Structure 1
Amino acid sequence: TWMKDTYTSIYGDTDINCEGCVTGKFLRHGGIQGRNESTGLGVFYGIREMLNNDEFVKKAKLTKGIEGKTFIVQGFGAVGSWASKFLEEKGGKVVGVVEWDSAIYKKDGFKVDELIAWKDQNKTFKTYKNADKIELTNPQKFLEFECDVLIPAAVERSIHKFNA
């Protein structure tokens, strides 16, 4: 909020850009409701549009829409977990989650709310029991598992020429 305060001290609090000059603010400092899920929602919208694009689905040999599609999510923080939640609500199946210290896979798909609750409580999937496969040594190899859409929602440079 110090950036917003600095802007306000220079331009005054009647400037139209005063509240909007900085993103990610807490509600009490002029932030907006929905900030936590907004980036994941944006990822969901991008995937939704991609899977409804005739040219893309033809090239990818997929049917249109999210329903029934399988997803592997790399990074299950704010972006990955919210994107997963929105995809599941529209009939998508999250079959894999890849984190820096572990990866889990379930052919029939996970219940996203259970994954979110587990991650909130345990901070990791290392001890998660409701998976067909779990990987602790080389979690990144799960990025190569079969799915309809891979969602890179982790740190930059996670996808590179050796695993793309």
Structure 2
Amino acid sequence: MRYSTSLSNPAERRAATLAALIVVLALCAAFFIGDVIGDLRRDGVGWHISLELFTTAALGTGVVLLMIELRDMLRRMDSLDRGIRAARGEMAKLIDSFFQGWGLTPSERDVGLLILKGFDNEAIAGLRGVAVGTVRAQSARIYAKAGVDGRAQLFSIFMEELLAEPPTQP
């Protein structure tokens, strides 16, 4: 499993918070276990000790259950991360297959990918070190080869693929 040390997303912050809570509760449980043992040696079993034993057992159970939940959460996060990476790879293959089918040149492929990433013509020109007019001309050729009128329709081709129902198995 891969665990990130960054707390950049809410799931990672939640996991870190849960881990910190587990540590605090485990320290509290250890304190109460020591207190119960000391009270048993000194006073014997009574209602106060029985209540402390019950409370300590409940606290220990909570620590164990939280540890199980944290482990499950980390597994789910890892599974989701793998799924997202797989989806990115599949999307890249899908884009490449469309670009190949349209017969885009390598330069047009670069521009097309940057368009799909949301860059405007000026930003694409800056990234590629070419004139804005060159990017406009390449964009127009991409749209013509794809059979669309502009960026919005180009995006819609890929959105339709993402939202399409997968074929059902007989």
After TM superposition, the score normalised by the length of structure 2 is 0.22
Give 1 or 2: higher helix fraction: 2
Higher relative contact order (CA 8 A, sep 6+): 1
Asked which structure has the greater CA Rg, the reply is 2
After TM superposition, the score normalised by the length of structure 1 is 0.22
Give 1 or 2: higher strand fraction: 1
